[in-house]
Amino acid sequence: MKPTLVSAFIYDEKHYQNLDFYIKQGSKLLSLDFNKVIFIDEKVYHHFENHVNENNYLIKVREQDMYLYEFIDNLENNIIGNPDKDTNNFFAIMCNKTEWIKQAIEMNHFNTEYYTWVDFGIFKIFNEHLTIENLNKKYDAIRIGSIWDINNTNFENLEKEICWYFAGGVFGGHKKHLLFFANAMKYETMQFIKQKNYLMWEVNLWYMVYKKYASIFSIYKCNHDISIINNY
């Protein structure tokens, strides 16, 4: 059986200015011939409910359901990034990817052992032929794309600037390792905000997890283009 694809769309009016664009890109993902568990913001659920079928299990959620939501208003914004985009609310959404895949695993709606996360708007970066069949692949370890050299640890500003050791948009593997990843990510994130009182990009926090538990990861080279799926 194919892995279950997991994704989510939280409508943040301040970040996602063009809702129609994400409806279009998300509809492409929903049209793929895979079993999918998709978490959809209840505010915009009606735009996607026509995609509900035997392959698409759509779940209404609220931004308040995210585990970091309760901390957002009290956190500083202490990173070097785009102030219009890189907000604590945006970071909370990105850091919740591993939680959503954990929830999908615990639901086990399609009775699968393998799961793959795909960002909801990922089709926006594709302008070439997409070998979507690569998402059929099953990995016991956490299969995740790397842009920078994962062995080059000279990046000194991990806590302030975005790092691209991981591309972020696609990762997957066996449920056992994904559950471990989700728990480790949540722990790492909670420790970080307790110590620093701000949030940052999920890929930076994933790299912190990787440095402790590298053996559970299977790395492949990619970029923010078609290679993120074609090299999976």
Question: 219: which strand partners?
Answer: 144
Please give the Cα distance from 65 to 8 (Å, whole number): 12
CATH of the domain at 76: 3.90.550
Domain that holds residue 40: 4-230
Please state the length of the chain.
232
Please give the Cα distance from 204 to 157 (Å, whole number): 10
Q: Are 176 and 112 spatial neighbours (Cβ–Cβ below 8 Å)? A: no
pLDDT digits (tens, 9 = 90+) for 50-90: 999 999 999 999 999 999 999 999 999 989 888 888 899 99
Provide the 8-state DSSP code for 3: P
The tally of domains found in the chain comes to 1
Residue 21: which pLDDT band, with cuts at 50, 70 and 90?
confident
Residue 53, number of CB atoms within 10 A of its CB: 10
pTM of the complete model beyond 0.85: yes
pLDDT digits (tens, 9 = 90+) for 130-173: 678 889 999 999 999 999 999 998 888 999 999 999 999 999 99
Please give the Cα distance from 108 to 115 (Å, whole number): 10
Residues of the chain with pLDDT > 70, as a percent, come to 97
What three-state secondary structure class fits 61?
Answer: strand
Instruction: Look at residue 41 in the predicted model and tell me its pLDDT.
Output: 97
